[in-house]
Structure 1
C-alpha cells in the first residue's frame, strides 16, 4: 500500500471536486480510485482524483470496495450514501457523513470550542456571530456576482436591503436560541419570497416531499453545502454534535450551522434561477460547484470557524 503515501497534499480549503456518482462500481485499479460504468459493448473506467476531492456522494445503484474506501480515507475524502440525485443522505441518522478515520486531528479548535460551548450565554453570542457572518457573506457575494445581477439579484434593491438591515438588527436583539432560530427561519422565508418574485415562480417550501424543481434543487444544493461543512469540521477536529444554534440533541447539528453560512448566498437564488430556466439536475449541480469555487466557499467556512473558535474562547 505504498501508493497511499504518494498522494499530493492539497489543502481541503483549496480542493475543487465534489462527486455525485450513481449506477456504477467504485474500486481501486492500478493504484487509483476509479468508478466503473458498463456501456452496451464495453466497460469504462473513470478516475476520481481523490487528492483534490472533498466529498463523494454515492447515489442509487452504486457499490464500493473496501480498498477504495481505504484510499479515500487516506486522502481525507468524506463519503456519503444518498438517494437518487444526491438526496436524501442515508449513510447515517440526520445529516451525517462517513468521516475518514485519523488520530491526528488538531485539538486547538475543539478545545477553544468547548471552552465556551457549555455556557448558554456564550453559545448564544457565537450563534449570533454565525448569522451576522452569513449576512455579510450574502452581501459580498450578491454585490459582485454578475450572473446573479443578470437574473435580477442586486444587494442595493430595496427589498433585499430591507431584509438584510431588518434581520441584522433582530439577530442582535434575540434573547435566546429559540428566538434566534425563529428569526433565522423568517430570514430564509423572506429570501425565498424575494427569489420567487425575481424568477416569477409560485413557491411553497416543501423539504420532505419535493415535487417542483425549485424545492428539488434546494434540497440537492443544500446537501452539497452540508458536505463542505462536514469537511471543514472534520479537518479542524470539531465534532458535528457541538452546535450553537440547531438542536443540541442532533449529532450532525453543527453541520447545519456551518452550511448556513453559504446556503442563502450560493444555493438559494440558483435553485430558483435554474428552476425557471428548466435546467437539468446535473447542470444545477455544476452551477453550485462553480459558485463554491468562484466565491471560495470552503475558505470562508474555514476562516469563519477559526475566527469563531478563537473569539468564543475569549468570551
Structure 2
C-alpha cells in the first residue's frame, strides 16, 4: 500500500476543507498509514476511515479514546482535536476554549505581527472589533439573501423585524467608544434575531445554555462547531487565541469567540430553530450545519476577515 507523506496531507488548504467530525463511543487509531475510528457492534468491530487531508477539526465526545500514532498523523495533516462532552459541548481539553493544536514551526508570522501592531492600543483594537461586527452583519445579509432553505422558512432579508435588528446594530457601531458597549449592542441584536427565528418557527424561546430544550441545545452544539472552525483559522494564521478584540481579555480562548461570531448568527442561529421545530436528532442537526458551513464558505469568510484585520493594520503603519 502506498504511504502518504506529510507534505501530501497539506495539499488541501484549510479554508477549503469540508469535514468536521464529532465522534462518540469510538476509538481513534492509526492503521496502515491511515487514521481510522473503531466502533463496537454486537458481533463485530467496524472500522471507518477519516479523510484527514480534508478535515479541519475532530471533536471527541463520550466514550472516546485516541492513540499517540493517530495524533501524530492528525498533527502532520494540520487537524485540530478537542475532547468534549456529549453532543459536542462543553469543550474539556485543552486549556479553556482552546484546542489541541498541531505543533508546527513553519506557519506564517506576518499575521501575528500585524495583529500585534494594533492589539496593544485600545483605539485600534476597538476599530478591529467594529470591523468584525460590520463583517458579521454583512455575512448575515449575504447568507439570508441567497439561502433557499431559509426563504422556505420565511426568513426574508427585507422583512421589517430583520431589517430593524441588523440596521439598528449597524447604526450604533460607528458611535460606540467602548468594547463593553459594543458587546451590549451585539447582544441586543442577537436577542432580536432569536425572536425573529422563534417567531417564524412558532416557538416560545428564552436563551439559556443550561435549559436543555432542543433550540438551546442546538445553539450550543452549532456554536461549538463554529468555535472549531475559528480555532482552525487562528492556528493556521499563527495568531494565539488569547489576543481577543471583543470578548474578555483574561480568557485565553476569547479570540475564538470573536472569530466564530462572524458566522454564528448567519448560519447556526436560524438552523438551530428550524431543526428544533422539525425535531431532528443531534446527528441530523450537525449534518445540516456542516453542510451549510460548506455551502456558504464559512471557513473562507473567517480566513478573509482575520487576514484583512491583521494586514490592514500592518499596511496602514507602513503607509
Instruction: Name the TM-score, length of structure 1 as normaliser.
Output: 0.97
> C-alpha distance in 2, partners of 1:90/1:232?
20
Is the counterpart of residue 117 in structure 1 residue 133 in structure 2?
no
* Structure 1 residue 210 displacement after superposition: 3.0
Q: Deviations over 1:104-145 (max 9, x none)?
A: 111000000000000000100110000000000100100010
* Match of residue 33, structure 2, among 7, 31, 34: 31
Q: Secondary structure at the match of 2:289?
A: helix
Say whether residues 1:296 and 2:294 are aligned partners. no
Deviations 1:28-80, CA, capped at 9 Å, x for gaps? 11110000111111111100010000000000000100000000000000000
- Counterpart-to-counterpart distance in 1, 2:107 and 2:146: 36
> How far apart are residue 8 of structure 1 and its match?
5.7
Q: Please, which runs of 5 or more residues in structure 2 have no aligned partner?
A: none
Alignment of structure 1 residues 1-315 onto 2, 5 Å: 3-5=4-6, 6-7=8-9, 9-207=11-209, 209-313=210-314, 314=316
Aligned residues: 314
**1:4 Cα deviation from its structure 2 partner:** 4.0
SS in 2 for 1:18: strand
- RMSD of aligned Cα (Å): 1.2
C-alpha displacement of 1:9: 1.1
- The two structures have a TM-score, normalised by structure 2, of 0.96
* Structure 1 residue matching 2:91: 3-state secondary structure: coil
CA distance in 2 between counterparts of 1:252 and 1:145 reads 31
Whole-angstrom CA distance in 2 between matches of 1:8 and 1:129? 31
1:32 touches 1:47 (CA, 8 Å); kept in 2? yes
* Large movers: runs of 4+ above 4 Å: none
Aligned-partner Cα distance in 2 for 1:241–1:8 = 26
After superposition, the C-alpha distances for 1:134-175 in whole angstroms (9 at most, x for unaligned) are 000100100010100000101100111111111101111111
